[in-house]
Structure 1
Amino acid sequence: MFINNTAKLLKSKHNIILQGAPGTGKTYNTAAIALSVLGIDGVDLDNHDEVMKKYEELQDDRIFFTTFHQSLDYEDFVEGLKPRVQSNENGESLGVTYEPEDGIFKRACNAVVTDDSKDIIECIDDYLQKIKGFENRREIPTVTGKSSLYVWWNEGNKTVSSRSTNSTSQREESYSPSPLNIEKIKAQTLGKGCENNWQQYAQAFIEAVKNEYHAKTDKSVVLIIDEINRGNVSKIFGELITLLEADKRDKGNHPIKVTLPYSKTLFGVPSNLYIIGTMNTTDRSTGTLDYAIRRRFAFVTLKSDPNVIVKHYEKLGNDDLKAIAIDLFNNIKAFITNPKHLCGDLCIDDLMVGHSYFMVSSKEELQCKVEFEIIPLIAEYINDGILTVNDQEKEKAFDAWASLQPVQIVDDEDEDNIDEEDE
C-alpha cells in the first residue's frame, strides 16, 4: 500500500523526497517505487530480490541513479565543458579541445524520447545504409540549429564521417576531421555513455535519425537522487529549478524551455521524468533545501517501524532474537524521547534509529550492529547537542546496550520521587 500510494503521489507531483532517520528504508524503497511508477508488471514489489533484479535490468535505460555530495555542481549534473583529445581516422592526435558533455540529469531527460514501434538502434543501422558512401552524404543541422554538417558512412568503418559545412580545411572534400564512433553513438542514444570526441556532433546525428524515423514516442524515466540534501541543490539544478514543476514540463499547462549555457541548445524537462530524492533528516551539517526547492517536491516521511522488525523475525522463525531486538528498539526509543534528553527542533521521527539496524540473522550480528552502528550514532547525537545526556547516563546506557540489555530510563518525575525517598 505504501509503495502504490507513494507512486501515485509521484505521478501527480513528479518530484518527491523520502525523508527520515537513518535505517528507515529510504534508499531501499526507491527501487520498488520506481518500478511502480514506470508501470512494470510481473514483479512482486514485496519481494526485494525480485525488485532489484528488474531494477538492474532497467538501470541507465529507464532508471538513473546518482548521489549528491558537497563537490557536485551544475557542470556534473546537467552539462559542462570537458576536455577531449581529438584524433583523426588514423589515430593521430589533433590536440585537445573542450566540448559540452551531458550530465546524468540531461541524459535521463534525453532517455525519455525513444521509438516505440521500432528499436532506435535499428533506426541508426538503417540510417547508415542510407548515407553509405560520400556521394550519399546528408546535410543535417547541428544541435544549436545555427549551422550544419555533412555526415556519411564508408561501409566497413566503425565510425561515421562528419564535417562541418563551414569547414575551412584545404584537404579533399571527403576528408572527415571529426569521425564519430558508431558504438558510442548508440550508447549516447540510450543514455549509457557518450561519443568521447565529438559529443555534440553525435547528438546532431542522433536527432537526424529520430527525425528520419519519427522516433518521438515517450517512455517514462525515473531519476533517483540519494542524499539529496548533501549537495547545494539550488547550485546543482541552476535555472532548471523552474522547469521541475509539473506545469512547466514539456506537456504541462505552461511549458518552458531555457537555453543551456554550454551547448547553447533549447532544453525542457519532459513530463515523463520522475524524480525520487532521499534525505536523512538528522543530517544538518551540509546543504539545506530552500523554499523554492521544497515547493517543487512532495515530502514522504518514513518512520522507524517495529512491525517491520517483527515480520523479519517471524520470517526467520526466531522468536528469541525477535524479543531481544524489540526490547532494544523500545528501550532506545524511550531513551531518545525522554524529555530530559530530547532538545532542539528535531522530533522522534527525525532521530529514532531505523528498524533496519535491528534486523539481523544472529545474536552476534545484532551485537555487532549495536556496538559499531547504533551506539556510535547515538553518541554523535549527544556530541552534536541533539540529545542532552550526562556522561554517567551515557556510559550506563551504552554498556547495557552493548550487552543487548535494556537500560532503566529515569525521567524528571522519577528522579523527584527518588530524591523524596532519599530524604
Structure 2
Amino acid sequence: MPTNLILYGPPGTGKTFATMRRAVALIDGDQWLAEDLDTLRMRYRELVTNRQIEFVTFHQSYAYEDFVEGLRPTLGDDEESDGDEAVHSAGFTLRPVDGTFRRICRRAELPRTASQHPARAASPAFIVGDRRVFKMSIGRAGSQDEMFYDAIAHDYIAIGFGGELNWSDPKYLEKENVFEKWKETDPKATRAVGDVSQTWQFRALEKDDMVLVSRGNSAIRAIGVVTGDYRFEDGAEVGYPHRRAVEWLVVPAEDIPSDELYGTSLMQRTCYRLNDSKLNREALQRIIDEARPTDRTGLSVTATPNQFVLIIDEINRANISKVFGELITLLEPDKRLGQPNAITVTLPYSRDQFGIPDNLHIIGTMNTSDRSIALLDTALRRRFDFEELMPRSDLLAPSVDEVPLRNLLARINEQIEYLFDREHQIGHAFFLGCETREQIDAVMRRKVIPLLAEYFFEDWSRVALVLGDVRGEHFLHRIVLASPPGMDEADDERIRWTVRDPFAEDAYDGFR
C-alpha cells in the first residue's frame, strides 16, 4: 500500500534528513533505515538522478497550476516543421503544462501503460550504456499520425527529406556526395538545407543507435533502437520512402515529458544527435526496463513496479486545498490506481482522466513553529499519517570544550515549553556539528537567540528567562534606561537588552 506520511516538529529536529532515509527505504527496502550516512546519501542521489525521487518546497505563492497542471503561453505552432528551422504562426496559444505532481505520477504509471505495439517474443535486457541517442520526428503530430502508427506497427523510422531519390549507395555516407547529388535536383541548394543535411544525418545513423521519437518539442512518444541499414521504399503507401528498421523499446500510452530525459527543450529539426551532457541515461534506462516485455505477450509484466517518492518540504506553508484541488480524494491509499477502489478525475485544463498510481509515496515535512498541526487542512489530516520528531539532546555529546552541551539544549527546551509551548523548541541539529566552544557560541548568537526573540515577539525579558540570564551577566547585556529630562520617571523600568560579544567566560556554568 502507498505511504502518505508527514513528519512534523520544531525546527532543527532532522525532518528533512529523515525524509531522505524514509524515501530510500520505501524504494529499496527497510534495510536502508539502518544504513550508514555516506552510503545513504549516495543512494539517495542515484534515485534522484533516476527520477524516482522528486523534491518540492511549498510556499505561500505555490498553486495548483505549479503542482498539478496549468496553462502556459506558447508562441505559434509547437509541432514539427518540414525544414531545419521552426515555423511559428502569429500570436500565441495557451497549452496545459504538467506540474511537479503530475510529472512524477506519469513516471510511476509508465509500467502500467508502457507497451501498445504488437506482441513479440521477449528479448534480453536492453542496456543503454554509451550508445548514441538521436531525436527523431515521424510526421507532424496531430495531422500526420497515420505515419507514426504505421511506423510503430511495422518497426521503422522514416524521413521526408531527400525527394524520390534512392540514397542506398554507400558513397552517400559522405555529406559532400549527398550535396552534389541533390544539386542535380536543386542547383540553388546549400549544404544547410534539410534535403542535404537531414538526408545525410538519417543516412549516417548506425545500427544500435537509439532514437527518441518526439511530439512537438516537449514530449517523447516512442523509444527505439536502429536495427537495419538505410532502405528506399519506392511507392510506399503510407509515409516517406526513406526508412531504417528499428526495434521499438517503449511506446507509452501517454507521452513522456522530454525533460524527464533531456535537460533542455527539443529542437524542431527532424533528426539530430542529442547532447550527452544533457541526456539523463539513468532515467532512460529505468523507463526501458519498466516497459520492456518480459514474456511473449508483448506487455510489461513487472511483478513489482519501481517505487517513486514525492517529498514535499514545508507542506503546511501553502494553501493545501488550492494546491491539491480535486486530487485530495485520490490521495487515499485505497483510491489509488491499482487498488480495488481506484478512482480518476477529469483535470480542468487538459481534460485528461487522471489517477494517482499506488507505487507513488508522498512524504511531507511540517515545521510546527510556523503553524500548529491543529491548523492543518482537515481533509489532508485524514489522508496522512503523522509522525512527530522532537529535539533529542541525547544525540549530542554530554560536553564539548567544557560546555555542557546536552544539558544546555535540554534546559533551554524545558524553559521554552514552560513559557510558550512544546512546538517551539530548539532542535538538536543546530548543535550537531559543534566541536569547539567558539562554534557553540556562534550557534547561540546567530541562530538560537534570534529564534528565541522571534518566538517571544522581541520580549527580551522572556529570552533572558530561557537563557537563565535575567540579570544580563552571561549571554545578554541588561541596561536600565534613564527617563528623558522633564519626564516623570515611569513606574516600570525601561530595559535595553543586547547580545554580548563575546559571551561571559562562565556563561554556560548554570547549565551544568
Residue 102 of structure 2: aligned partner: 106
Pairing 1:328–2:328 present: no
Pairing 1:58–2:47 present: yes
Pairing 1:244–2:331 present: yes
User: Residues of 1 paired with 2:145 and 2:366: CA distance?
Assistant: 56
Residue 444 of structure 2: aligned partner: 370
Which of structures 1 and 2 has the bigger CA Rg? Answer: 2
TM-superposed deviation, 1:308: 1.1
SS at match of 1:138: helix
User: Residues of 1 paired with 2:261 and 2:135: CA distance?
Assistant: 20
TM-superposed deviation, 1:333: 1.9
How is 1:278-317 mapped onto 2 (pairs within 5 angstroms)?
Answer: 278-284=365-371, 288-310=375-397
SS at match of 1:370: helix
Pairing 1:361–2:435 present: yes
Look up the equivalent residue of 1:35 and give its one-letter code: V
Change (3 A) 1:131 1:381: closer
TM-superposed deviation, 1:99: 1.9
Which one of 139, 142, 149 corresponds to residue 149 of structure 2? Answer: 139
Bigger shift: residues 23-32 or 216-225 = 216-225
Which one of 418, 424, 433 corresponds to residue 351 of structure 1? Answer: 424
**Contact residue 81 and residue 99 of structure 1 kept, 8 A:** yes
User: Residues of 2 paired with 1:225 and 1:135: CA distance?
Assistant: 38
User: Residues of 2 paired with 1:288 and 1:91: CA distance?
Assistant: 54
User: Residues of 2 paired with 1:197 and 1:280: CA distance?
Assistant: 43
Pairing 1:188–2:263 present: no
User: Residues of 2 paired with 1:391 and 1:336: CA distance?
Assistant: 9
Pairing 1:36–2:25 present: yes
**Contact residue 68 and residue 98 of structure 2 kept, 8 A:** yes
Change (3 A) 1:262 1:197: farther
**Contact residue 259 and residue 266 of structure 1 kept, 8 A:** yes
SS at match of 1:383: coil
User: Residues of 2 paired with 1:284 and 1:111: CA distance?
Assistant: 32
Change (3 A) 1:216 1:229: farther
Residue 90 of structure 1: aligned partner: 84
User: Residues of 2 paired with 1:135 and 1:356: CA distance?
Assistant: 56
Bigger shift: residues 80-89 or 30-39 = 80-89
**Contact residue 84 and residue 196 of structure 1 kept, 8 A:** no
Bigger shift: residues 110-119 or 354-363 = 110-119
**Contact residue 21 and residue 280 of structure 1 kept, 8 A:** yes
User: Residues of 2 paired with 1:378 and 1:27: CA distance?
Assistant: 22
User: Residues of 1 paired with 2:406 and 2:53: CA distance?
Assistant: 36
TM-superposed deviation, 1:214: 2.9
**Contact residue 103 and residue 257 of structure 2 kept, 8 A:** no
Change (3 A) 1:187 1:231: same
User: Residues of 1 paired with 2:66 and 2:445: CA distance?
Assistant: 38
Aligned length: 345
TM-superposed deviation, 1:93: 4.3
Residue 496 of structure 2: aligned partner: none
TM-score by length of 2: 0.57
SS at match of 1:304: coil
User: Residues of 2 paired with 1:392 and 1:69: CA distance?
Assistant: 33
In structure 2, list runs of 5 or more residues that go unmatched: 115-123, 151-155, 160-198, 203-210, 217-238, 241-254, 269-286, 476-502
What whole-Å deviation, never above 9, does each CA across 1:392-416 have from its counterpart, x for those lacking one? Answer: 747936763454834869xxxxxxx
SS at match of 1:59: helix
Which one of 3, 6, 9 corresponds to residue 20 of structure 1? Answer: 9
Residue 405 of structure 1: aligned partner: 507
Residue 165 of structure 2: aligned partner: none
**Contact residue 138 and residue 158 of structure 2 kept, 8 A:** yes
Pairing 1:81–2:154 present: no
User: Residues of 1 paired with 2:396 and 2:13: CA distance?
Assistant: 11
TM-score by length of 1: 0.68
TM-superposed deviation, 1:361: 2.6
Change (3 A) 1:391 1:371: closer
**Contact residue 16 and residue 277 of structure 1 kept, 8 A:** yes
**Contact residue 25 and residue 31 of structure 2 kept, 8 A:** no
Change (3 A) 1:266 1:356: same
SS at match of 2:54: strand
Change (3 A) 1:268 1:351: same
TM-superposed deviation, 1:307: 1.2
Change (3 A) 1:382 1:221: same
TM-superposed deviation, 1:292: 0.6
User: Residues of 1 paired with 2:430 and 2:342: CA distance?
Assistant: 45
Residue 421 of structure 1: aligned partner: none
User: Residues of 2 paired with 1:287 and 1:99: CA distance?
Assistant: 38
Which one of 59, 65, 73 corresponds to residue 69 of structure 1? Answer: 59
TM-superposed deviation, 1:49: 2.2
User: Residues of 1 paired with 2:259 and 2:386: CA distance?
Assistant: 33
Residue 223 of structure 1: aligned partner: 310
What whole-Å deviation, never above 9, does each CA across 1:239-263 have from its counterpart, x for those lacking one? Answer: 0010000111012231100111122
User: Residues of 2 paired with 1:328 and 1:361: CA distance?
Assistant: 15
How is 1:112-151 mapped onto 2 (pairs within 5 angstroms)?
Answer: 112-114=108-110, 137-139=147-149
TM-superposed deviation, 1:226: 0.3
TM-superposed deviation, 1:53: 1.3
In structure 1, list runs of 5 or more residues that go unmatched: 1-11, 141-150, 164-172, 175-184, 199-205, 314-318, 410-423
RMSD after superposition: 4.4
**Contact residue 331 and residue 406 of structure 1 kept, 8 A:** no
TM-superposed deviation, 1:220: 0.7
TM-superposed deviation, 1:197: 8.6
